[in-house]
């Protein structure tokens, strides 16, 4: 159903986002949460059709939670923790992702992409300051010394122009913005194709990632299945190299293959097709995600294989990384150089995602006969040798370490054990808060957070300067005491289960500085005795430079 759109447009806005898909709409909501108004221009008339990206990681759920879009997602979506793989009808792998009873989010939630777009859009509207225009196609981009002029065309054929301080390109793999700037994605793409089918069918089968290699129903093919809300199955199956992609997606060729597979696995309820598409894996990225006043995110910046579900999840991580930095720059709290760290960190993340995705693709869609032989050998061995089964693991999406980030603060060698060091997402923990049971990650996503581990009733005077910076939005700093015992209050949480102290390798007086996107920026022992490095770390980001 087409969305309505007002006829008048602003002449100037702080941020224009080209593309109103899940990344663009989520970024808009995040920017609004930080107090930055933006205009979203989406060429389509409404949300996407078909399931598209369906597996939402724990990290992505946290990011959507920063704008209040997590609750509808969790309520509607189907949570899962693992999956099964079969070779010619024999189970060869049963994997489970890390999960615990006290967790805030499941490792994965299955939900159609159009719901993510809907929830992000609703969050942006609820926060305010976001103007979403449908049927508005960007046609020309003209970078200026102090901003960007953007031309776009509306459904009535009229052309409009808007000036923006910053343009963020989230307009997909065939990006007009990228083309306008003469930029090209670099990398490779695989020839192996998968047909994607959504069908509606009632089932009682558990929610898992299901994979069949060379199944009796479709010999020589690979088939993936995921349950989705609304009694929808998502089915992906590999087509032979010699098959014409145009013919491959015709219903008369798709439906018999789907029926054969449903018959094989015993799903006998009536069903109907909803959506059919075709896909081949791509490992492509821009070498830099910032070009002056134009920034790139999501599929516009990078295309990664669907295997391991790194596509939309990496795009949402782009939005989470970029939003707070762009807000600080736009509001005059930081220099434009901070945006270079967005490119450094997210390009590094993309290259790692591509490396993992390529390994998964080479197993799921072997690029030549040699890979096919190795895969078959691994699968045959896995039927009798459990030690081989990890080779079949699909390597699900996981947060990327920002190794070497210019924002990471040095630490004294040997001062800490464990993996909660600068450049990694801050670990989750179950806590007691003033409102009752809660989770540590709910503290993140809005501003800098200083986690001070202490069971003393009072915060030392030397750290009181961090209890309030006088700034608002992403520039603010919240000091939270993590106590091992006692009572929670507005500035204290209690680690009754000991998870936070253990996962942060904390001792009395330990302090962690957490970025607004939930990544560890630095950690210090006995912070009260020497708070200067913490002050310096903040000053490195918050330079208080005039608006550029």
Q: Tell me whether residue 46 is in a domain.
A: yes
Exposed/middle/buried for residue 348 (C-beta within 10 Å: 0-12, 13-18, 19+) = middle
pLDDT-derived band at 366, boundaries 50, 70, 90:
confident
pLDDT-derived band at 530, boundaries 50, 70, 90:
confident
pLDDT digits (tens, 9 = 90+) for 417-468: 877 999 999 999 999 999 999 999 999 999 999 999 998 888 888 888 777 6
CB contact set of 337 (below 8 Å; sequence gap of 6+): none
Give the span between the Cα atoms of 288 and 26, in whole angstroms: 21
Dihedral sign from CA coordinates of 351, 424, 362, 173? negative
Q: Tell me whether residue 2 is in a domain.
A: no
| Residues 326 and 434 reside in one and the same domain | no
| Residues 323 and 438 reside in one and the same domain | no
- Asked if residues 299 and 171 have their Cβ atoms less than 8 Å apart, the reply is no
- Asked if residues 216 and 89 have their Cβ atoms less than 8 Å apart, the reply is yes
6 has pLDDT over 90: no
Nearest to 349 by CA among 323, 313, 324: 313
**What pLDDT sits at residue 388?**
85
| Residues 142 and 29 reside in one and the same domain | yes
- For residue 352, count other CB atoms closer than 10 A to its CB: 17
Q: Tell me whether residue 450 is in a domain.
A: yes
Q: Tell me whether residue 194 is in a domain.
A: no
Total domains present in the chain: 2
| Residues 359 and 438 reside in one and the same domain | no
CB contact set of 382 (below 8 Å; sequence gap of 6+): 87, 92, 93, 388, 389, 391, 392
Could you give the percent of the chain with pLDDT greater than 70? 97
| Residues 17 and 119 reside in one and the same domain | yes
pTM above 0.85, yes or no: yes
- The CATH code of the domain that includes 504 is 3.40.30.10
pLDDT-derived band at 547, boundaries 50, 70, 90:
very low
What is the number of residues in the chain? 548
Dihedral sign from CA coordinates of 458, 460, 464, 466? negative
| Residues 344 and 486 reside in one and the same domain | no
Domain final residue, candidates 364, 381, 400: 364
Q: Tell me whether residue 276 is in a domain.
A: no
Nearest to 21 by CA among 47, 2, 1: 47
Domain final residue, candidates 313, 338, 364: 364
pLDDT digits (tens, 9 = 90+) for 257-272: 999 999 999 999 999 9
Domain final residue, candidates 306, 332, 364: 364
CB contact set of 12 (below 8 Å; sequence gap of 6+): 162, 163, 164
- Tell me the CB-side half-sphere exposure of residue 39, using CA atoms within 13 A: 26
Q: Tell me whether residue 271 is in a domain.
A: no
| Residues 145 and 291 reside in one and the same domain | yes
| Residues 177 and 295 reside in one and the same domain | yes
Strand duo 477-483 + 448-453: pairing: parallel
- The CATH code of the domain that includes 318 is 3.50.50.60
Quote the domain boundaries for residue 453: 430-541
| Residues 344 and 449 reside in one and the same domain | no
Q: Tell me whether residue 217 is in a domain.
A: no
**What pLDDT sits at residue 356?**
86
| Residues 177 and 326 reside in one and the same domain | yes
């Amino acid at each position: 159903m087409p969305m309505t759109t007002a006829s008048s447009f602003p002449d100037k806005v702080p941020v224009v986002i080209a593309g109103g898909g899940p990344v663009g709409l989520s970024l808009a909501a995040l920017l609004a949460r930080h107090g930055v108004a933006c205009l979203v221009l989406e060429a389509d008339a409404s949300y996407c059709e078909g399931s598209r990206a369906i597996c939402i990681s724990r990290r992505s759920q946290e990011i959507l939670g920063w704008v209040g879009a997590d609750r509808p997602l969790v309520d509607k979506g189907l949570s899962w923790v693992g999956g099964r793989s079969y070779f010619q009808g024999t189970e060869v792998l049963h994997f489970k992702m890390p999960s615990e009873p006290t967790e805030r989010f499941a490792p994965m939630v299955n939900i159609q992409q159009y719901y993510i777009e809907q929830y992000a859009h609703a969050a942006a509207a609820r926060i305010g300051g976001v103007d979403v225009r449908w049927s508005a196609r960007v046609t020309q981009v003209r970078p200026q010394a102090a901003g960007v002029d953007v031309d776009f065309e509306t459904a009535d054929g009229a052309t409009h122009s808007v000036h923006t301080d910053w343009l963020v390109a989230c307009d997909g793999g065939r990006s007009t913005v990228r083309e306008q700037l003469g930029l090209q994605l670099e990398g490779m793409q695989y020839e192996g194709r998968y047909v994607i089918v959504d069908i509606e069918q009632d089932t009682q089968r558990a929610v898992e990632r299901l994979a069949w290699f060379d199944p009796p129903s479709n010999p020589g093919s690979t088939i993936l299945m995921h349950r989705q809300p609304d009694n929808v199955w998502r089915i992906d199956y590999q087509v032979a190299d010699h098959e014409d992609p145009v013919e491959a997606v015709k219903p008369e060729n798709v439906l018999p293959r789907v029926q054969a597979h449903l018959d094989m696995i015993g799903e006998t309820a009536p069903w109907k097709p909803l959506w059919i598409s075709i896909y081949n894996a791509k490992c492509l990225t821009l070498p830099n995600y910032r070009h002056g006043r134009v920034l790139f995110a999501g599929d516009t910046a990078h295309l990664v294989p669907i295997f391991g579900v790194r596509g939309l999840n990496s795009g949402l991580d782009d939005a989470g990384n970029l939003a707070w930095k762009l807000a600080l720059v736009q509001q005059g709290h930081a220099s434009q150089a901070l945006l270079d760290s967005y490119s450094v960190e997210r390009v590094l993340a993309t290259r790692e995602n591509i490396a993992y995705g390529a390994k998964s693709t080479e197993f799921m869609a072997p690029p030549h006969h040699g890979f096919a032989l190795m895969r078959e050998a691994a699968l045959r061995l896995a039927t009798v040798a459990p030690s081989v089964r990890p080779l079949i693991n699909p390597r699900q999406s996981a947060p990327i370490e920002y190794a070497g980030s210019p924002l990471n603060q040095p630490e004294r060698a040997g001062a800490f054990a464990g993996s909660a060091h600068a450049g990694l997402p801050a670990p989750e923990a179950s806590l007691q808060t003033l409102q009752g049971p809660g989770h540590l990650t709910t503290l993140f996503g809005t501003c800098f957070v200083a986690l001070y581990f202490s069971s003393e009733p009072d915060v030392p005077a030397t750290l009181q300067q961090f209890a309030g910076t006088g700034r608002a939005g992403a520039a603010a700093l919240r000091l939270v005491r993590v106590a091992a015992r006692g009572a929670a209050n507005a500035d204290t949480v209690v680690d009754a289960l000991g998870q936070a102290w253990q996962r942060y390798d904390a001792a009395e007086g330990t302090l962690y500085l957490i970025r607004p996107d939930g990544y560890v920026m630095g950690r210090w022992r006995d912070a009260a005795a020497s708070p200067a490095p913490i002050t310096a770390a903040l000053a490195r980001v918050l330079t208080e430079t005039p608006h550029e």
